[in-house]
Amino acid sequence: MPVIHVLNGPNLNLLGTREPVTYGTTTLADIEARLQANASGRGAQIRFRQSNHEGDLVTWIQEAGAAGEPVILNAGAYTHTSIAIHDAIRGAGTQVVEVHLSNVHAREAFRHHSHISSVAAGVIVGFGALSYDLALEAILSGDFGKKS
């Protein structure tokens, strides 16, 4: 069964508990459950993880790359700061879909730049928890953004 990694960065463990106006009321566990159900109905399996530490995300991207498995990545604030995550995606050579709950382009200027977008297969922003489902749909429905 194909495995799709869903990796979540700092503070996303708080989802659904604070700042509902910006991030909604859905928890990360809710997102995981919905993705698992959706994926298993399509013959795929989700490996869902969250960390507040940049190095964990780098390691998990490397692991997905070594296994040749696709990644849905919400790197949280590291999106805007992390060259290490940019390099990991580049080196992993696997399909990475960048997702964001909020429309980062309608927010503060420091959220407008992503170090991930230039090495991602695609970017989905602003649809709340649905951003993850749209990313899953994109991965399951095509072979875009795969590297040889």
Q: Which is nearer to ligand CA2, 23 or 48 (CB)?
A: 23
Which tokens is 45 given?
């399996």
Picking from 50, 58, 49, the residue whose alpha carbon sits closest to that of residue 10 is 50
Residue 37 contacts ligand CA2 per CB under 6 A: no
The mark string for 95-114 relative to ligand CA2 (x by CB under 6 A, - otherwise) is -----xxx-x------x---
Residue 50 as a binder of ligand CA2 (CB under 6 A): the answer is: no
Is residue 19 part of the contact set for ligand CA2 (CB under 6 A)?
yes
Contact 141, 116 (CB under 8 A): no
* CB of 104 vs ligand CA2, minimal distance in Å: 5
* CA separation, residue 11 to residues 18, 86, 87, 93, 145 (Å): 10, 19, 22, 27, 28
- List active site positions: 23, 100
Point out which span in 41-49, 69-77, 84-92, 140-148 binds ligand CA2 (CB under 6 A).
Answer: 69-77
Interface with ligand CA2 (CB under 6 A), residue from 14, 66, 67, 106: 14
Could you write out the DSSP letters of every residue in 78-142? GGGT-HHHHHHHHHH-S-EEEEESS-GGGS-GGGS--SSGGGSSEEEESSTTHHHHHHHHHHHH-
Binding interface with ligand CA2 (CB under 6 A): 11-12, 14-15, 18-19, 23, 74, 76-77, 79, 100-102, 104, 111
